[in-house]
């Protein structure tokens, strides 16, 4: 019996230790400090545990590329707690903005409600905005577009906006006028966990002048992030502007392949599913085979081509028109495969599949 227990203990010891999974919520903007006209800004974080059991969570404050905390918050069953001036009282910040990052284990996350309010107190009264917590699973990611609409009137209004980067992030910020014209653009990168906020961002960050119904677009080319904005009037009363996750895809029409580069599509993708309807037959030989991939943008803009994968011994893209050169060695004879091509126009990319038969 002891020997059997020893074997069982050893087997357990060999099992991998897997950390409990967790959910992460982000309040993308919080802060504290003096404002205009002797006013004072602060953020309040409110947490509620709807479960019939106790729960705990951790909160960190990401300011720039720095991280403060974590602070652990324990909640009894059914408890609600509000943390006043959370940036100051929990993290020692006297002036500044950042993001609150809240980690909760998956079971507790189903029962924890997180809300926050950032408000300004002055002689004119108290004005504030609710800032929702965003699950990182719903973040804007590569290929997506974040939309931040500015104020309908720029008179006595300023437009702040910012970002919290969940992963290393590469983006293009664009300023669009009300008629859809792109007035300015700016590329930027951010480290994982970095928070950045741009006060009067169109002027200070993008270097433009504001107009009524300006909209900021953020194209994400790598990473994941949460974007947000805030419109603040002359009295210091703010209105939160969530970064709306969207797409600006341009339709890419994959016509097929031109086998002899004559300008005619010889094998088509007739049903538009991104897969060539019939395979391209490639002879195994020391001599290369050539054919051209044919695709267009819905607006007639130029497209670019990239070989993602190919079963051929050697595969080369020869020109911007999508001409491929393939060399298939003898060991591929009587086998089948697929060439995957990435076709791009602007910020939109599409993967297409070209079946091949080696003879």
Q: Please report whether residue 173 resides in a domain.
A: yes
pLDDT the model gives residue 346: 81
How many domains does the chain fold into?
2
pLDDT the model gives residue 37: 73
* Same domain, residue pair 274 and 232: no
* Same domain, residue pair 50 and 83: yes
Q: Please report whether residue 154 resides in a domain.
A: yes
Rounded Cα–Cα distance for residues 194 and 5 (Å): 50
Domain end marker among 246, 265, 280: 246
Tens of pLDDT, residues 271-303: 999 999 999 999 999 899 999 999 999 998 889
Domain end marker among 246, 278, 299: 246
* Same domain, residue pair 79 and 220: yes
- Domain range enclosing 84: 22-246
Closest CA to 310 of 297, 291, 287: 291
Nearby residues of 334 by Cβ (< 8 Å), 6 or more positions away: 358, 359
Q: Please report whether residue 306 resides in a domain.
A: yes
Rounded Cα–Cα distance for residues 263 and 200 (Å): 52
* Same domain, residue pair 157 and 263: no
pLDDT the model gives residue 187: 96
Q: Please report whether residue 1 resides in a domain.
A: no
**pLDDT under 50: residue ranges of the chain:** 1-20
* Same domain, residue pair 278 and 354: yes
Nearby residues of 65 by Cβ (< 8 Å), 6 or more positions away: 191, 193, 194
Tens of pLDDT, residues 101-142: 999 998 999 999 999 999 998 888 899 999 999 999 999 998
Q: Please report whether residue 107 resides in a domain.
A: yes
Domain end marker among 246, 269, 296: 246
Query: Which run of H or of E encompasses 46?
Result: strand 40-49
* Same domain, residue pair 205 and 352: no
- Chain-centroid distance of CA 255 in Å reads 31
DSSP string, 244-277: EEE--PPPEEEEEEETTSSSS-SEE-TT-SSB-S
């Amino acid at each position: 019996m002891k020997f059997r227990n020893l074997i069982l203990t050893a087997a357990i010891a060999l099992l991998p230790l897997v950390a409990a999974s967790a959910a992460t919520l982000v309040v993308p903007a919080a802060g504290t400090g003096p404002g205009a006209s002797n006013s004072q800004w602060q953020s309040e974080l409110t947490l509620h545990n709807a479960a019939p059991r106790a729960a705990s969570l951790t909160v960190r404050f990401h300011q720039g590329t720095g991280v403060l905390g974590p602070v652990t918050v324990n909640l009894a069953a059914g408890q609600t707690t509000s943390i006043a001036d959370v940036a100051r009282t929990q993290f020692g910040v006297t002036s500044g903005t950042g993001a609150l990052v809240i980690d909760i284990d998956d079971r507790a996350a189903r029962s924890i409600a997180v809300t926050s309010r950032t408000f300004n107190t002055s002689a004119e009264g108290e004005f504030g905005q609710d800032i929702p917590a965003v699950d990182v699973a719903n973040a804007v990611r590569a290929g997506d577009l974040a939309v931040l609409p500015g104020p309908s009137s720029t008179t006595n209004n300023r437009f702040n906006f910012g970002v919290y980067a969940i992963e290393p992030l590469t983006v293009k910020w664009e300023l669009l006028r009300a008629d859809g014209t792109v007035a300015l653009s700016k590329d930027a990168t951010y480290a994982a966990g970095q928070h950045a906020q741009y006060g009067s961002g169109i002027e200070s960050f993008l270097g433009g002048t504001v107009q009524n119904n300006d909209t900021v677009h953020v194209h994400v080319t790598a990473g994941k992030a949460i974007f947000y904005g805030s419109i603040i009037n002359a009295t210091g009363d703010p209105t939160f502007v969530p970064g709306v996750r969207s797409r600006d895809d341009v339709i890419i029409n994959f016509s097929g392949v031109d086998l002899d580069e004559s300008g005619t599509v010889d094998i088509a993708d007739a049903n538009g599913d991104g897969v060539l309807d019939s395979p391209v037959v490639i002879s195994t030989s020391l001599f290369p085979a050539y054919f051209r991939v044919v695709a267009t943008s819905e607006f007639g803009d130029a497209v670019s081509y990239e070989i993602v994968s190919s079963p051929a011994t050697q595969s080369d893209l020869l020109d911007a028109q999508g001409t491929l050169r393939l060399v298939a060695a003898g060991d591929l004879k009587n086998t089948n495969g697929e060439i995957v091509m990435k076709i791009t126009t602007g910020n939109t990319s599409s993967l297409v599949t070209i079946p091949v038969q080696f003879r």
